[in-house]
Amino acid sequence: MARLNSFFLPPEAWPGQPGETVRLDGGEAHHIHTVLRSRVGDEVRLFDGDGHEGAFRILALRKNRAELEALRLDEHTAPASGVTLAIGWGKSKRRPYLFEKAVELKALGLAFWTASRSQGEVPDDAKESWRDKCVQAAKQCGNPFLPRLALLPGGIPELLAFAAGFDRCYLAWEAAEATAPLTPGHLAGCRSLVVIGPEGGLEPDEARALIDGGFAPMTLGDSILRWETAATYCLSLGFFAGQDIK
């Protein structure tokens, strides 16, 4: 059976049972109507990023609106374990890559925090373009969950408070003091938070505050990595840890 084209429906609009109708507006409706040239009667996949997905039949199409009927609905159990990355705020040009890989490698969440060497300030609200990039990646890979996004403009104190909600906390650090390598075993079977500094790295007092706050310093190897490489490396370890490999 051919793979169904996928579209995003916000969680608040998700139907309660088969037979109910829903509506796509704006960009999603434009994509289903104008880009893919779908027709009334076609079957598509909708998902809400919170673990719900299903098969829907198109009932009506307009340029910026589509009406669909729920045929089959599925609900996935939210993962009990996984990785959240907390990344020092930095340049935006490589951030879209991060959102894509976070979805593909099934990160639980992404947090951006203000570090001493951050370039610019963490915004007050997540940008719509961030969610859009996550949605596009989810359509491609089939992940029914989108990563939770958190903004921590308050620096180390706010980051430490955020860390209280996790089972294990690690600091990816390139200093000589970090001698133990981060492995999938560190990330398996728990909700883990991994902190990565901004481009330019952490100040020693920032690292010390995190270690004193319960973060275990870990090395990512003997190469100095760009932040997006370090992030992808950590996400890959977490993805491997979550696989049921015999």
Supply the CATH number for residue 41's domain.
Answer: 2.40.240.20
Q: Report the number of distinct structural domains present in the chain.
A: 2
- The tens digit of pLDDT for each residue in 186-207 reads 999 999 999 999 988 899 999 9
Q: Are residues 151 and 210 in the same domain?
A: yes
Are 16 and 126 found together in one domain? no
Write down which residue in 75, 104, 122 finishes a domain: 75
Within this chain, do residues 98 and 151 fall inside the same structural domain, yes or no? yes
Confidence of residue 246 (pLDDT cuts 50, 70, 90): very low
Reported as a pLDDT band with limits 50, 70 and 90, residue 224 is confident
Could you give phi then psi for residue 47, rounded to 5 degrees? -145, 160
| Between 170 and 1, residue with greater pLDDT | 170
pLDDT the model gives residue 2:
61
Mark whether 35 and 117 lie in a shared domain.
Answer: no
Tell which of 45, 75, 105 closes a domain. 75
What's the pLDDT at 213?
A: 97
Helix ranges, 32-154 (H): 95-104, 128-141
**What pLDDT, in 10s, does the model give residues 85-123?**
999 998 778 899 999 999 999 999 999 999 999 988 899
105 shares a domain with 204: yes
In a shared domain, residues 93 and 209:
yes
Instruction: Write down the mean pLDDT value for the chain.
Output: 93
Domain encompassing residue 191: 82-241
Q: Is 1 part of any domain?
A: no
204's enclosing H/E stretch is helix 204-212
Q: Check residue 178 and give its pLDDT.
A: 85
pLDDT of residue 39: 92
Q: Are residues 64 and 93 in the same domain?
A: no
Under the banding of pLDDT at 50, 70 and 90, the label for residue 177 is: confident
Categorize the per-residue pLDDT at 1 as very low, low, confident or very high, splitting at 50, 70 and 90.
very low
CATH number of 202's domain: 3.40.1280.10
Contact 151, 123 (CB under 8 A): yes
E strands in the chain = 6-8, 21-25, 43-47, 52-62, 65-75, 82-88, 109-113, 148-152, 168-172, 191-196, 216-218
What is the DSSP-derived secondary structure letter of residue 13?
G
Clarify whether residues 201 and 131 are in a common domain.
yes
% pLDDT > 90, the chain: 80
Distance in angstroms (rounded) separating the CA atoms of residues 147 and 110: 7
Bridge partners of residue 184, in order along the sequence: none
Residue 203 and residue 88 share a domain: yes
Q: Write out pLDDT tens, residues 5-17.
A: 999 999 999 999 9
Q: What amino acid occupies position 186?
A: H
> Whose CA is closest to 66, among 91, 106, 36?
36
Q: Are 105 and 168 found together in one domain?
A: yes
**Beta bridge partner(s), residue 8:** 47
What is the structure's pLDDT at 200? 85
Return the ∠ at Cα 173 (arms to 168 and 175), rounded to 5°.
135
CA-based R_g, the chain, Å: 20
List for the chain the helix, strand, coil content (%; round to 5): 30, 30, 40
* pLDDT band at 159; cut points 50, 70, 90: very high
The reported pLDDT for the residue numbered 232 is 96
Banded pLDDT at 37 (limits 50, 70, 90):
confident
Which of 108, 91, 102, 87 is CA-nearest to residue 133?
102
Above 80 in pLDDT, residue 140? yes
Backbone conformation region of residue 112, classed left if phi is above 0, alpha if psi is from -120 to 50, else beta: beta
Claim to verify: residue 129 and residue 11 sit in the same structural domain: no
Q: 148 and 31, same structural domain?
A: no
Domain assignment of residue 55, yes or no: yes
CA dihedral of residues 48, 99, 165, 197 (deg, nearest 10): -170
pLDDT beyond 80 at 128: yes
Spatial CB neighbours of 177, under 8 Å, sequence gap ≥ 6? 217
Contact in structure between 114 and 90 (CB atoms under 8 Å): no
Residue 246 within any structural domain of the chain: no
Taking residue 95's Cβ as centre, other Cβ atoms within 10 Å add up to 20
Per-residue pLDDT band for 245 (boundaries 50, 70, 90) equals low
**What pTM was estimated for this model as a whole?**
0.92
